[in-house]
């Protein structure tokens, strides 16, 4: 498995599966830099399943820090290349991903899952 900016290693992936459950199918997994308190960033792992997102620590053993349903999302925005801001009912997350393609992949997955939940909904 390659160790580029967005991929996670096999050992970390196994730790993630131990934490979120082996029965949950992981659709997307990305290393992200979560912005906290000003300019400070922390390395995290963003894992997307069919209807939930998980934010975990980027070390072994990993720990679950945050999870939310896609239905809790109130807004998604991309202000800069490689940046994704997710607004939920409980918090706002500002994440830096390795590339704009990674941001597009995350957005496409969430959008596809929401269309499966609400098939007649307008994409706008």
As a whole number of angstroms, the distance between CA 60 and CA 9 comes to: 10
Mapping DSSP to helix (H, G, I), strand (E, B) and coil, where does residue 5 land? Answer: coil
Q: Is residue 31 a contact partner of residue 45, using CB atoms and an 8 Å limit?
A: yes
How many degrees, rounded to 5, is the angle at CA 52 between CA 51 and CA 56? 155
Distance CA 66, CA 105 (A): 20
User: For the segment 46-94, what is each residue's pLDDT rounded down to a tens digit?
Assistant: 999 999 999 999 999 999 999 999 999 999 999 899 999 999 989 999 9
Residue pLDDT, tens place only, 35-45: 988 789 999 99
Model pLDDT, residue 6: 56
Match 């050992």 to its residue by tokens. Answer: 11
């Amino acid at each position: 498995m390659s160790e580029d900016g967005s991929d996670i290693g096999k050992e970390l992936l196994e730790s993630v599966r131990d934490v979120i459950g082996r029965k949950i199918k992981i659709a997307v997994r990305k290393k992200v830099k979560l912005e906290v308190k000003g300019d400070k960033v922390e390395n995290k792992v963003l894992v997307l399943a069919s209807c939930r997102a998980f934010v975990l620590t980027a070390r072994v053993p990993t720990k679950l820090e945050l999870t939310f349903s896609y239905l809790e999302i109130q807004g998604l925005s991309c202000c800069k290349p490689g940046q994704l801001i997710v607004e939920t009912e409980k918090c706002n997350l500002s994440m830096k991903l390795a590339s704009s393609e990674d941001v597009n992949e995350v957005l496409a997955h969430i959008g596809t899952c929401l269309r499966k939940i609400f098939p007649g909904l307008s994409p706008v």
